Amino acid sequence: MFSHYAALVRGGAILRIDEIQAFKLVREALPLYAGYAVLRAGLGELAFLINGAGLPVTACEPNAARVEALKAGLGQLVTSKMVDGKIFTIAPGFLPDRVDVRPLLGVATDFVFDLPLEQDQAFCRGLRQFDGLLINPRLFIRLREQPSEQRALTAFLQSLGFAEARKFPIEQMVYFARPPGDQDQASKALATISVDATSQGSTMDSEFDAMVERVMALVPPAPSPGTGTTWIERRVRKFDLRSTFGNDE
């Protein structure tokens, strides 16, 4: 993704507009939460921005290469005193393994993976840890262009105890929250799920790796060893494929 980010830096813009809009909603339109989790954090742009505002944040990212980039970015920004490393956590995975503070808001501007996460017990258990979600319903779990697909997502979140609290049409985001007094009920629901379900997360990650391998088999080999500057050579690298997989490009 070097060329992509280099172009952003040359243009004087590191944050995407949807990330800026999500941040403004968190700071200006939504209730204050004790903690925030950015889902599919990428290189941490939105997570670092939220942390820079003095809010505790967890950056969740399933891609191993991006996790390493996140760690490097965190170290650099802590050194320059732009973020507070004491209230910044990196969680390798789709969601946090555990929640240390409540209430917790999950923020997802682009969470497309095209995996059957709704049927994964560990994933559902992880979502139940949240007290609120700010998401783009078009880009959650899979690309959902049709209104019926987005209604199905709403029904799925309702089955986990979330209610649609507010729509933000301009930002194309929806805020879901648990009804008042539902926090205890959510905790009880978590307790009824077997801890063994957490092992499903590694199974889902293995399925993702297997899918990447199948796609890799379709990529023609580079004509000669190079520095990774051509389209084919960049895509031959597994970490590039995993980093870009699921994007609209």
The domains of the chain are located at 2-195, 205-244
Instruction: Give the model's confidence band at 221: pLDDT under 50 very low, under 70 low, under 90 confident, else very high.
Output: low
Superfamily of chain region 2-195: Vaccinia Virus protein VP39 (3.40.50.150)
CB atoms within 10 A of CB 48: 22
The pTM of the whole model exceeds 0.85: no
For 19-50, the pLDDT digits (tens) are 999 999 999 999 999 999 999 999 999 999 99
Section 56-60 average pLDDT: 97
How many CA within 13 A on the CB side of residue 65?
10
More confident residue, 37 or 189: 37
Residue 195 has pLDDT above 70, yes or no: no
